[in-house]
Amino acid sequence: MTVSVAIAGATGYAGGELVRLLLGHPEHLAGNLQIGALTGASSAGTPVSEALPHAPELFGRTIEPTDAEHLAGHDVVFLALPHGHSAEIAAQLPEDTVVIDCAADHRLTDAGDWAHWYGGDYSGSWPYGIPEMPGHREELAGATRIALPGCFPTGATLALLPAVAAGLVAPEVTVTSVSGVSGAGKKPVVTNLGAETMGSLRAYNTAGRHRHTPEIAQNLGEYSEEPVSVSFTPVLAPLPRGILTVASAPLAEAAAGTDTAAARAVYEEFYADEPFVTLLAEGVQPQTQWVLGANTCHVQVEVDAASGRLLATAAIDNLTKGTAGAGVQCMNLALGLPETAGLPTTAVAP
């Protein structure tokens, strides 16, 4: 049986990364996975050779309009669209089509959070695409509707999840994430121009204004007996891709006296069977260059005894593990394929 896959928003950064990963997927190389419609909005009618020059295998094709007519008839549809556009298209696709939403439309489980942070009609939540979160892998297996996480919540969640789940920290976390400019998408914006970003760092959406804040709290809150408060600060860096997350929280009263060795033991056990999460050797800090193009997350954890806080750091590629790689990982689970199929764990170096 051949599985056909369509990508809505194929000309964006996330869509282009999906193309790259799917072209290297073993099922595609074996002839069992076919890349169908590649759609765009303003780019409709553009030759693929112009829109996706990194994918010569698809030259000769044309970007099609993004609508249900062109997406229908596929077994899997990736929606790599801006938030607010996915729900309408998904509603027009058959229930047995595996629809994987790269946007925020179905991530939040609370309608009030959606209204506050995004506004407009709430479309409900779908199974959430971080398989490393306990219980989520089972929900994703065989699912036909999947919400991919935001890239910042992916790094923050994987950095702090073992500590929260084990009760090592109080539910008051501080997260700072340094991100490359591709996380803002391909739309031309003056503040993302090379002349504005090269040689400079800039915090933005500070003091709790970033829309990924409730998603981080929601993820960690699943494994906490108390609501989790999150202070999140994103920082834009002059990088094409990559996110370095630095997260900390005070040690819980019950975990007072926990040292780095004990914290590392918790993380080692939590991620022992996870193929895409690596706890680095003690003293080695994650670097974004070590995860470029790979569906991996590198993590470090230590305890600052003087301040009584746990510090966790994590590095991901925002376009791979942070978006498209997570999408392929979830597609594999939904279709009953090996979870790791088509997903590189070796980064591009240098």
Write out pLDDT tens, residues 251-288: 999 999 999 999 999 999 999 999 999 999 999 999 99
User: Strand, coil or helix: what is 246?
Assistant: strand
**DSSP secondary structure letter of residue 307:** T
Q: Tell me if the pTM is above 0.75.
A: yes
On the question of pLDDT at 85 being above 90, the answer is: no
pLDDT digits (tens, 9 = 90+) for 15-40: 999 999 999 999 999 999 999 999 99
Q: What is the dihedral of CA 210, 215, 217, 222, to 10 degrees?
A: 180
Q: What is the dihedral of CA 101, 102, 108, 109, to 10 degrees?
A: 30
How many percent of the chain have pLDDT more than 90?
Answer: 90
DSSP letter for each residue of 82-97:
-TTSHHHHHHTS-TTS
On the question of pLDDT at 41 being above 80, the answer is: yes
Confidence class for position 121, pLDDT limits 50, 70, 90: confident
Residues recognised as catalytic: 151
The overall average pLDDT reported for the chain is: 95
User: Strand, coil or helix: what is 36?
Assistant: strand
pLDDT digits (tens, 9 = 90+) for 205-259: 999 899 999 999 999 999 999 999 999 999 999 999 999 999 999 999 999 999 9
- Output 85 or 156, whichever has higher pLDDT: 156
On the question of pLDDT at 51 being above 90, the answer is: yes
What pLDDT score was predicted for residue 261?
98
Q: Give the whole-angstrom CA distance, residue 290 versus residue 47.
A: 33
What pLDDT score was predicted for residue 183?
84
Domain residue limits, the chain? 3-148+322-335, 152-316
Q: Give the whole-angstrom CA distance, residue 152 versus residue 103.
A: 13
pLDDT digits (tens, 9 = 90+) for 146-201: 999 999 999 999 999 999 999 999 999 999 999 999 887 777 788 888 888 888 99
Query: Is 145 within 8 Å of 126 (Cβ atoms)?
Result: yes
pLDDT digits (tens, 9 = 90+) for 295-325: 999 999 999 999 999 999 999 999 999 999 9
Fold for 3-148+322-335, please state it.
Rossmann fold (3.40.50)
Q: Give the whole-angstrom CA distance, residue 216 versus residue 207.
A: 15
Helix (H) or strand (E) holding 140: helix 136-140
What pLDDT score was predicted for residue 229?
96
Q: Give the whole-angstrom CA distance, residue 72 versus residue 321.
A: 27
What pLDDT score was predicted for residue 29?
97
Averaged pLDDT for residues 35-59? 95
Question: Which residues have C-beta within 8 Å of that of residue 93, sequence separation ≥ 6?
Answer: 68, 71, 72, 77, 99
Closest CA to 100 of 137, 139, 147: 147
Question: Which residues have C-beta within 8 Å of that of residue 269, sequence separation ≥ 6?
Answer: none
Q: Indicate the CATH number for domain 152-316.
A: 3.30.360.10
